[in-house]
Structure 1
Amino acid sequence: MEVSAPPLIEMAEMLEENGSVAAAPEAPVDPEPPSFTMPPAVEDEEGELPADFERLWKAAHDNPHDFTSWTDLLQYCEQESHITASRRALVAFLARYPLCYGYWKKFADLERRAGNNTKAEEVCEQGLQAIPLSVDLWIHYINLLLGTLDMNLPESPKRIRSVFEDAVAAAGLDFHSDRLWDLYVEWEKEQGNMRNAAAVLDRVLKVPTQLYNTHYDKFKEHLNGHEPKDILLPEEYEELRTLCRQSQKAERAEQAQEEEKERPPGEEEPATPEGTDTEELMQKIREQVLVQRDKVYQDNEGEVRKRWHFEDAIKRPYFHVKSLDRLQLRAWHSYLDWEISELNNDPKDSNQDPNQAASEGLEVTAQTQEVSEDLPAVHDDHRVRILFERCLIACALYEEFWIRYIQYLEPQSVEEARAIFKRACEIHLTNKPNIHMQWATFEERHGDLTEARRVLEAMEKNLPGLAMVRLRRAALERRAGQLDQSEALLQEAVADSKEKPMLHAFYSIKLARLLLKLGRNPSRARRVLQEALEISPDNDKLYLNLLELEVSGDPWASSEAVQECVTRALAAPLAPHTKILFSQRGLQFAEDYSNSIQSVLSVYEEHQKLLKELGGTKRGAENGDEDSEKLSKSDDGSAVAAQIPPTMSHVPITTPPPPMMGTDVNAQASYGGYSSWYQQPQYGSYGYQNTWNYNQGYYPPS
């Protein structure tokens, strides 16, 4: 989309957004966000809507893909401070643009200012269902709960902790999720749960984030500021305490032997109380704790270092309708390539520097690095999915990333791939026909013809008039064995396009070929083309397909029909070179299948007269004076596939004409986009190039 959004209120907050779906290391979750339903607008008692609301509302709905129209409406409602208007506008806007997390925050704040705390919570929950990757929206939701819940109630801390766990499970593995982890730690400290705070710090030490080193510093500070038994799990504390005591006893025994040699005779060793945890012992426990965490920290630092340049190359991790430049798109592709290569653990590129590759936008495979048993493996399927989900926030309007995610998921789970198609087509890419048709193909390939039909029908209803969608529907029915339904769809398209001659001719050719090739009904096919010629008498493609129909029949019975078709084409308002080619085709048919030399000579004389009438250049070509390479060029300058070798210039071409129509390559809504299906440029593929030299041996010069 090329529409640039105007400066939005709180746009600065968007610069901090980094969408990520992630799970806490202990409990990975599926990154697929649940489907969400917008909360209905709640009417209040403020009476009529503001004066300009209806005008701005109509402008937004008349052109729903114009982001500026929506932001104008939302800014107006905010300026008017009208709750009903704001609700209605926000509900409609967020149903279309659910990844704009800033407007979910605005919606929640609107309800909170109106005293609807429950409604504000519901809005946040709806927003997090739509975009569970938003660190900022999770923090906003938690702060809302902290400001509205009565923390004296025993269930309130439990609910807050539960929301924190949901937050770190959904967004905690984001490279920029440090603020969420810090908020969790500080809240546990405020609750007096030092052990819980240490456990949260322990978890984040294993997560590669931008501020990974600060988390380690905070862990050290927390450890040194409290007794180890107050922050460590009882099992770990007892294990370390026993280990340190044994080490301390061994040191004291060795020290005692040295001191005994120096002690005066008769003086005994001072007694040490049994079971006493001295400060020296506590310090040894702290040192041992840090020895264990330091290994985790070093491993995590290695993971951060490998990702740093990939993350640094991403300049806009939040959603916006403004187009991304090529470097940004390449950065996302490069990051995905690298993460998938880590999953595959391919050693062939182990010498490639990941930082250099990230800056160059290349596919890389990072050096294999050992991960300690305490650190969960980050190069797994879950990590790849997280990155895809993050990518689909910034690149939600780009089909290529949705398709790439689907191709990654489909071998693992058809249902998960189907869910991604649903999200892409029904929320973010409602006006992109290519991905909808790929969805229909996906469903047909997996045997769900009903869903494939529904997808195509919905696409045609949303964007009426797309020829490629109608053709896909007809092809689907044909493959399903419903030839009558396929024919009916094309007949309907022919009937509905009579006001558009080019499109009408296109559908008529498609219908005629279906009737001829599959319906085995040449008479009906002929009637369709003849009716189309009544509407488009200057369309050479219709004459060409009618001629193909006639020459493909019984040569003994169709001679008259072929010459009649040629005569009709010569009388039509067609270009001179086109008429000459039709005349040549008629002459070649007469030469190949006529029963009398008189009829051949008659056609030949008519052809010579036409050459004289339309100019001498074509006569020269007929006599073999023109370069055959020039005649083999198509309208667009591309060479025709069937070239005549110089040694064969005097040999008649007997190869039958190739099919008129090819494969649906380009998805365009116009008739011209399908020209390759029924247009033979210069009709060269029939083998007419310079084919008339051999006639010089049969016919006298005119």
Structure 2
Amino acid sequence: MATECETSGNGELVEPSAMETANVPTLPPPGMSDENGCAHSATEAFAQGDTASFSPPQAKEDEEGDLPADFERLWNAAHDNAHDFTSWTDLLQYCEQEGHSVASQRALMAFLGRYPLCYGYWKKFADMERRAGNNDKAAEVCIQGLQSIPLSVDLWIHYINLLLGTLDMNLPESPTRIRSVFEDAVVASGLDFHSDRLWDLYVEWEKEQGNLRNVTAVLDRVLKLPTQNYSTHYDKFKALLSGNEPKEMLSLEEYEEVRALCRETQKAERADQAKEKGKEMPPGEEEPATPEGTDSVELMQRIRDQVLSRREKIYQENENEVRKRWNFEDTIKRPYFHVKPLDQIQLRGWHAYLDWELAELNKDADNKDSETDADAKDDTESPEATAQTRRGMEECEVARDDHRVRFLFERCLIACALYEEFWTRYIQYLETRSVDQVRVVYKRACLHLPSNPNLHMRRATFEERHGDLAEARRVLEALDKNRPGLVVVRVRRAALERRAGQLERSEALLQEAVSQSKEKPTLHAFFSIKLARLLLKLGGNPGRARSVLQEALEISPSNDKLHLNLLELEVSSELCSSAEAVQECVTRALAAPLAPHAKILLSQRGLQFVEEYSNSIQSVLSFYEDHQKLLKELGGIKREAENKDEGREKVAKSEDAPADGASAEAPPTDPQAPVTVPPPPTMDMSAQSGGYGGYSNWYQQPQYGNYGYQNTWNYNQGYYPPS
């Protein structure tokens, strides 16, 4: 077994040059038939996208025996570093080298549960069971693999070959089962550009069964599909037609239709020839007499020519479709899954391919609408002629519909399963079509990318928007456990509970975050402010809100945002009890190790409060005198700091000037002028996919932006005369 799992184009294992970690993915399974053990509707499978957990045959406890000596060490290493692909392949290689079937089975089950898109290992698993004589278990492993990756042509071929080699073909039900599996295979993966080997296998098997009509039916289907070896299928049809009677290979309906058309054509030609010779043929002798039930050689050739002419139209149409896709397909060098990153050329190629297929879908829809309008306005053409025209269009039409677009997305998401951008595109495509299908794709995407917070939060938002609060809650809770410490996740959880009317749960989540972040003062202050606001605004409990902020100040006395929020709480309280509290807040802030501009701002806010609500002019003037002293003491320091900040801002603006040419307001130069702090920049609500809100400044950042109240206190100090 290769030490690392990179599969080649034919599904075999090769060694890559580098390894990256991957996440647990699960793709939608085909529906499984109880009768034949295979998919009966793979189209519905990835349209509905039901996921299936991997549960291959379990080893019996009494069969385990003693595991190899280093198994536990390698097993623990793989599970301790679950995203380290090399640890897993080391475990698998060791089990294979030891030849221990139970250890190999256990390792493969764990590995494929985490990396189910590595179809080469599904094949190895099935082969291991078959070598052990467990044919039923081998088939079951193939079925499980196809549930995870139904588009895998290689895995379908492996499963079919397994059945061909193990089933008793003398039993009447065996051919039925094989044909059913072939049908499931071509429905699930037959649209793949590289599915020719599967179609060829189907054609050859039907030839062995001796039913030429079935062979023709299969060839007619693949002739309409743009595949890499499209011309070989047409050549096979021509060879089949030239070597067999059309009556034996065509359906009865088509044969009678073509035969009648050819007879009428032949009859008309002979009538024209008779007119040219100046005589009329006797009745009943319009064509040479032939034995009843047989066709003349001339008529037989006409039938062949007509049948081939019909397929030629389809072939030309299909060739045009292949030509359109060829360059896109040529950029795809790795159509299979691997943890190693794709190069930018392939990523851009996938995006361009999807763009083109979507444009073709829209163009095709517009054309169909135009044809419908034209049919409605056409009063001259007979119903029979209209029906015949439509049949001809259907015969020449190459599949170019919603199913093909989804199929390309599914192909893309095998190779690009670890790229969030492609999952997002698929979700956006499905959003206008089916809520249930979007839900399933979100589920699959999150299984592939369990550590991607943006994706999980968008999924939670989607579930909440569509009324499934329990699922939204579960998604955020799982993300919080998987990625502890992400501020935005805990904030989202608290906001979800608040919107659901569960204020106690919201409060508990924030309280837990406050308790767990005491060793991180900045984070502790952030959650304390969130909790205090909840208690004040929604809980109606200013006392508890005050206690939360005061406790936070004991841990972070230099956090100006805590002082600002506590001051705002006191300012908004009832006047009978707020005057002294406001004075106490300002005094505490001035004694704290705050920056000069923060102290001036807090003092200014206190001055504004007493001017607006104090009953004594003496208290107003006293507060004003203290504020003027503070300006004299700290004004020079503040202006020096502002000048440094202004210099940095100018450099930044020269490098990245606003598009509208607007400039920021210059800081005041008059020491008596009001000192204000500009509000934080407006967060782009669309920058976060899902439209929920802009938490980008908090997400995984050591600092969390200006989460205090914005300063709107443009107070005119010039109202008072200088002292």
**TM-score range relative to shorter protein:** 0.7 to 0.9
Q: CA deviation at 1:327?
A: 3.4
Find the counterpart in structure 2 of residue 561 from structure 1.
581
Contact 2:11–2:154 under 8 Å retained in 1? no
* Compared CA separation, residues 559 and 348, structure 1 to 2 (3 A): farther
In structure 2, the residue matched to 1:8 is: 5
Alignment of 1:110-509 (within 5 A): 110-252=128-270, 272-275=289-292, 276-345=294-363, 372-376=393-397, 378-425=399-446, 427-509=447-529
Shift of 1:237: 1.9
Q: Which residue of 1 aligns with 2:35?
A: none
- Tell me the amino acid that sits aligned with residue 509 of structure 1: I
Q: Distance in 1 between matches of 2:42 and 2:124?
A: 32
Contact kept? 2:190, 2:198, Cα under 8 Å? yes
- Deviation of 1:667 after TM superposition, in Å, equals 5.7
| Structure-1 separation of matches of 2:423 and 2:671 | 53
Match 1:665 to one of 694, 698, 707: 694
Q: Aligned residue for 2:52?
A: 36
Quote how far apart the aligned CAs of 1:242 are: 3.0
Q: 1:387 to 1:20 in 2, by over 3 A?
A: farther
The answer on whether the counterparts of 2:5 and 2:338 sit within 8 Å (CA) in structure 1 is: no
1:538 aligns with 2:561: no
User: How far is 1:630 from its partner?
Assistant: 3.8
TM-score (norm 2): 0.80
Structure-2 separation of matches of 1:203 and 1:135: 17
The residue aligned with 1:92 is: 110
Distance, in Å, in 1 between the alignment partners of 2:84 and 2:30 is 32
Q: Is the 8 A contact 1:406 1:417 kept in 2?
A: yes
Q: Structure 1 stretch 205-214 or stretch 638-647: which is displaced more?
A: 638-647
* Separation of aligned partners in 1, 2:211 and 2:517: 73
Change (3 A) 1:332 1:12: closer
Shift of 1:670: 6.0
Shift of 1:598: 4.0
The question of whether the paired residues in 2 share the 8 Å contact of 1:99 and 1:130 is answered with yes
Structure 1 residues 687 and 102: CA distance shift in structure 2, 3 A: farther
Give the superposition deviation at 1:555. Answer: 5.5
Residues 28 and 52 of structure 2 are in contact (CA less than 8 Å); yes or no, is this contact kept in structure 1?
A: no
Taking the TM superposition and a 5 Å limit, the aligned residue runs for 1:43-58 are 43=60, 45=63, 47-58=65-76
Q: Determine the structure 1 residue equivalent to 2:722.
A: 699
Taking a change above 3 Å as real, the CA distance of residues 411 and 550 of structure 1, as seen in their structure-2 partners, is same
Deviations 1:646-674 (A, max 9, x none): 99998869999999999852368867467
Aligned counterparts of 1:47 and 1:669: Cα–Cα separation in 2: 53
Q: Report the alpha carbon displacement of residue 13 of structure 1 after superposing the two structures with TM.
A: 3.5
3-state SS of 1:208 partner: coil
Distance in 2 between residues matched to 1:645 and 1:58, nearest whole Å: 61
Query: What code does the residue aligned with 1:523 have?
Result: G
1:102 aligned onto 2:120? yes
Shift of 1:131: 0.9
CA separation in 2, counterparts of 1:270 and 1:491?
Answer: 97
Contact kept? 1:477, 1:485, Cα under 8 Å: yes
Letter in 1 for 2:583: Q
* 1:80 is aligned to 2:98: yes
Any idea what the Cα deviations from partners look like across 1:499-540, whole Å, max 9, x if unmatched?
333322221110001112222222211110111122222323
* Aligned mates of 2:224, 2:28 — CA distance in 1: 17
Task: Verify the 8 A CA contact 1:185 1:197 in the aligned structure 2.
Answer: yes
Helix, strand or coil: the match of 1:31? helix
SS in 1 for 2:704: helix
TM-score of the two chains, using structure 1 as the length reference:
0.83
Structure 2 gap ranges (5+): 15-26, 32-38, 280-284, 368-390, 686-691
Q: 1:272, CA displacement in angstroms?
A: 4.4
Q: Give 3-state SS (helix, strand or coil) of 1:374's partner.
A: helix
Q: For 2:706 and 2:263, locate their aligned partners in 1 and report how far apart those are by CA, in whole Å.
A: 85
**TM-superposed deviation, 1:140:** 0.7
Contact 1:22 1:31 (8 Å CA) reproduced? yes
Distance in 2 (CA, whole Å) between partners of 1:406 and 1:269 is 64
Q: Structure 1 514/634 Cα, relative in aligned 2: closer, same or farther at 3 Å? A: farther
Aligned to 2:89: 71
Shift of 1:249: 4.3
State the number of aligned residues. 657
Q: Which residue pairs with 1:678 in the alignment?
A: 707
Q: 2:4·2:86 contact (CA, 8 Å) conserved in 1?
A: no
Report the AA paired with residue 395 of structure 1: C
Shift of 1:404: 2.4
Q: Shift of residue 220 of structure 1? A: 0.7
Matched, 1:510 2:530: yes
User: d(CA) in 1 for partners of 2:180 and 2:535?
Assistant: 65
Tell whether the 8 Å contact from 1:537 to 1:573 is kept in structure 2 after alignment: yes
Q: Distance in 2 between matches of 1:178 and 1:16?
A: 21
Letter in 2 for 1:167: A
Equivalent residue number for residue 688 of structure 2: none
2:383 aligns with: none
The Cα shift of 1:128 comes to 0.5
SS of corresponding position for 1:665: coil
Provide the C-alpha distance between the structure 1 equivalents of 2:215 and 2:225, rounded to a whole number of angstroms: 16
> How far does the alpha carbon of each residue in 1:124-159 deviate from its partner, in whole angstroms, 9 at most, with x for none?
001111111111110111111111111122111111
SS in 2 for 1:373: helix
1:20–1:133 CA contact under 8 A, matched in 2: no
Change (3 A) 1:84 1:665: same
How far off is 1:424 after superposition? 1.9
Deviations 1:433-482 (A, max 9, x none): 22222122112111222222222222223333333222212111211222
**3-state SS of 2:705 partner:** helix
Tell me, in whole angstroms, the C-alpha distance in 1 between the residues paired with 2:481 and 2:74: 25
User: Does structure 1 retain, via aligned residues, the 8 Å contact 2:463–2:469?
Assistant: yes
> Residues 573-596 of structure 1: CA distance to partner in whole angstroms, max 9, x if unpaired?
333443344344444444554444
Letter in structure 2 aligned against 1:399: E
Amino acid at match of 1:560: E
Once the two structures are TM-superposed, the CA of residue 160 in structure 1 deviates from its matched residue by 0.7
Q: Summarize deviations over 1:518-577 as a string: whole Å, max 9, x none.
A: 222222111101111222223232222212222333466423222321222222233344
Say which SS state the counterpart of residue 210 (structure 1) adopts: coil
1:617 deviates by: 3.8
Deviations 1:84-108 (A, max 9, x none): 1111111111111111111111111
> What letter corresponds to residue 5 of structure 2 in structure 1?
L
- Indicate if the aligned counterparts of 1:569 and 1:579 stay in contact, CA closer than 8 A: yes
2-structure distance, mates of 1:658, 1:577: 16
